[in-house]
Structure 1
Amino acid sequence: MATVVQTAAFPVLFIPLFLFRSAKDTSTSTNPPSILVLLLIYFSLGSVIALDNWLYSTGLLYLSASTYSLVCASQLAFNAVFSYFINSQKFTILISNSVIILSLSSALLAVDDDSERPSGVSKSKYFFGFICALGASALYSLLLSLMQLTFQKVLKRETFTVVLEMQIYTSIVATIVSVVALFASGEWKSLPHEMAGFGKGRVSYVLTLVGTAVAWQTCSVGVVGLIFIVSSLFSNAISTVSLAVTPLAALVIFHDKMNGVKIIALLLAIWGFVTYLYQNYIDESKAQRRRNEMGESRVERSPC
């Protein structure tokens, strides 16, 4: 059920899609992709999302939260590799520093807690959960790079509606695949028992699922939007920063304890994030100077 929840709230995105859709939807391509190509892309990405969600859910089922977070921290390193080969991402010293520091920040935060095998979980299941979490991290990173490639090489549209469409259509496919898997595996039979055993009651159980599903869609739109605007690596870097910022939110909301390890992890995350932002600032400044030089050269060549 956890796999279904991660994509099932896609209908709420039709509201912003309707509000933001423009009749003058510009495109940088004179030959827009065919319906068949779009269907193939959305079906492929949606199926990968469903598989990735299942791997993440399975990994969390058999691993402790700290071990799970530690393994998932590897997704930024995977993303760096995929971005280099698929998206031709240029790696400067600042970007490399940012990737390393953010990964270390997440790893440091994860090992702060007890990472022993959860009680009742056998060694084989623990190993299976580890493989699932590691595979999910690699697959998620590949997915982000493929989305960036799709935006750049296939869709080539300049409006934000393309982000909503990407999220909606891939979520439709992922939800269908997840629901089919839910019934095929027979897991749906345990849902009434799970609902009845929820401490706050059936209504709270349903509201929790709905709230979680909407939150997942909000997060996913942000992730895909950052891919569209900046890059898959930047989007993943933001996600990694949030892992280190979580203890700070827990301190404010739940009055959780803030120990030295969490503070160091937070400072490392800020350092890595600021480094990445500074590299983007340098790149944008260079691009702006080139645009200004091109504008000046055109003015000089124009006839009087």
Structure 2
Amino acid sequence: MTEECTETELTHQQPHQRPRFRNYKRWWRVSLYIFLALGGQSAATLLGRLYYDSGGNSKWMATFVQTAGFPVLLPLFLYFPTTHDNSSNMSNDNFSETKPKLYTLVFLYIVFGLIVTANDLMYSYGLLYLPLTTYSLIGATQLVFNAVFSYFLNAQKFTAFIVNSIVLLSISVSLLAINGESNDPMGHSSKEKHMYMFGFISTLVASATFALHHCLVQVAFEKVIKRQTFSVILDMQLYPSLVASCCCVVGMFASGEWKSLDREIREYEDGKVSYVMVLFWTAVTWQISCIGLFGLIFEVSSLFSIVIDTMELPIVPFLAAIFFHDKINAMKVMAFVLALWGFLSYVYQQYQDDKKAKADTNTSDDDDNFVGGLRLQGVEEMKELQTNCL
């Protein structure tokens, strides 16, 4: 009888242990993606600023390096299989094994490549004409835009904390617009009012485009690609990056900026080797960041990836003050505090959602255990009845 009970207990315990173990593995991956996104984004932004401060002036080159590092992904692309992997369990249950048509994927990657090109170019203008503190704070509005796009494209629900986050971040950006004065110590043209406003508008539009792009990527993962393997993350980064890099090369030649690259290299303050290394590591760190962000979209949602990307907000300005001696006036401090408050408001909403999800899961488990207990009781009663009959 003891052996039968032990076997029955193990049979009922295993189904509850396996999902929990898989959930731990999943959040290990999520933690890794968070680290890649934050580390890559912070390093890439600082290196992009270093490129401009040391004498770089090509907007198309700064845009090109944001996508041109995709060859570093080729070893991963060759290592990870492209077939469906049930053991990875990397995505939601909504995904299926249906393979999309080749022309659908080609069209999808071309469209995303064009969006990335326009987005990176606008970010390049913003990084050139704005001090890094202002650039980072305006970039935080991508959370606001993503919340709106997620509502329409990803069925995201608004709550009081999300609305509070949107309002606070909007006020923060308004304060930066009113401030309207650059504190760039390097003497860039961002000191001129029209250049500052152009950089402001470019960064704001780029934030909206960035948010829209992430929402569309989530739609593509769920509705078009429908595969549960790490290779789909690599595909989403590699092929659009290839398209975007080709567009940047065309733009560089069409604008005539390629003619000034030789002089730019010779006049670069830190030398030719430093020029190449800055561009190289900028390209690599952008790829690291994008893998992290796309991984978060794949594992959780586009809104969660934007939240993690916004965590760069309290990191980069302090790093900029250390490495580039950016000045932060009272208006920017107030904008920073409001933006941070808005960010924490959204994080608290995520905490509430996770808490509710766990409570629902526990309730479901309790119901399953209750039903299992009734079944065991019924089996025991049946055995006892058979014994009495004999």
Code of the aligned partner of 1:14? L
Q: Which residue of structure 2 lines up, in the alignment, with residue 176 of structure 1? A: 246
- Do structure 1's residue 12 and structure 2's residue 79 form an aligned pair? no
Code of the aligned partner of 1:4? F
**8 Å CA contact retained: 1:33, 1:154:** yes
Q: Which residue of structure 2 lines up, in the alignment, with residue 92 of structure 1? A: 159
C-alpha deviation, 1:252, in angstroms? 6.2
Unaligned runs of 5+ in 2: 1-60, 380-390
Q: Bigger shift: 215-224 or 1-10?
A: 215-224
CA distance in 2, matches of 1:252, 1:119: 22
**8 Å CA contact retained: 1:73, 1:103:** no
CA distance in 2, matches of 1:20, 1:236: 26
Aligned pairs for 1:252-267 within 5 A: none
Q: Bigger shift: 224-233 or 267-276?
A: 267-276
**8 Å CA contact retained: 1:70, 1:110:** no
CA, structure 1 residues 121+10, in 2 after alignment: closer, same or farther (shift >3 Å)? Answer: same
**8 Å CA contact retained: 2:137, 2:336:** no
CA distance in 2, matches of 1:293, 1:120: 57
How big is the alpha-carbon RMSD for the aligned residues of Structure 1 and Structure 2?
A: 3.5
CA offset digits 1:217-243 (Å, max 9, x no partner)? 112222222222232223223333312
What is the total number of aligned residue pairs between the two structures? 304
CA distance in 1, matches of 2:118, 2:302: 19
State the SS of the aligned residue for 1:114.
Answer: coil
CA offset digits 1:189-219 (Å, max 9, x no partner)? 1110110110121111111110111111112
State the SS of the aligned residue for 1:157.
Answer: coil
Q: Which residue of structure 2 lines up, in the alignment, with residue 231 of structure 1? A: 301
CA, structure 1 residues 154+291, in 2 after alignment: closer, same or farther (shift >3 Å)? Answer: farther
- Do structure 1's residue 146 and structure 2's residue 216 form an aligned pair? yes
Q: Which residue of structure 2 lines up, in the alignment, with residue 204 of structure 1? A: 274
CA distance in 2, matches of 1:19, 1:107: 47
CA distance in 1, matches of 2:203, 2:225: 31
Code of the aligned partner of 1:160? F
- Do structure 1's residue 34 and structure 2's residue 101 form an aligned pair? yes
CA offset digits 1:37-89 (Å, max 9, x no partner)? 11111111111101111122234445555664554343332222211111111
CA, structure 1 residues 162+100, in 2 after alignment: closer, same or farther (shift >3 Å)? Answer: farther
**8 Å CA contact retained: 1:106, 1:243:** no
C-alpha deviation, 1:175, in angstroms? 0.8
Q: Which residue of structure 1 lines up, in the alignment, with residue 204 of structure 2? A: 134
CA distance in 1, matches of 2:236, 2:207: 21
CA distance in 1, matches of 2:304, 2:190: 38
Q: Bigger shift: 164-173 or 27-36?
A: 27-36
Q: Which residue of structure 2 lines up, in the alignment, with residue 54 of structure 1? A: 121
Q: Bigger shift: 94-103 or 42-51?
A: 94-103
CA, structure 1 residues 244+296, in 2 after alignment: closer, same or farther (shift >3 Å)? Answer: closer
CA distance in 1, matches of 2:333, 2:126: 27
Q: Bigger shift: 25-34 or 47-56?
A: 25-34
Greater Cα radius of gyration, structure 1 or 2: 2
C-alpha deviation, 1:24, in angstroms? 5.1
CA offset digits 1:157-182 (Å, max 9, x no partner)? 33333222211111111111111221
C-alpha deviation, 1:120, in angstroms? 8.7
Q: Bigger shift: 4-13 or 218-227?
A: 218-227
Counting aligned pairs with the same residue, the percent is 47
C-alpha deviation, 1:289, in angstroms? 3.2
TM-score (norm 2): 0.66
Q: Which residue of structure 1 lines up, in the alignment, with residue 263 of structure 2? A: 193
CA distance in 1, matches of 2:327, 2:202: 31
CA, structure 1 residues 209+13, in 2 after alignment: closer, same or farther (shift >3 Å)? Answer: same
Code of the aligned partner of 1:153? K
> 2:348 pairs with 266, 278, 281, which one?
278
Unaligned runs of 5+ in 1: none
CA distance in 2, matches of 1:128, 1:268: 24
CA distance in 1, matches of 2:314, 2:335: 6
CA, structure 1 residues 198+163, in 2 after alignment: closer, same or farther (shift >3 Å)? Answer: same
Q: Bigger shift: 56-65 or 136-145?
A: 56-65
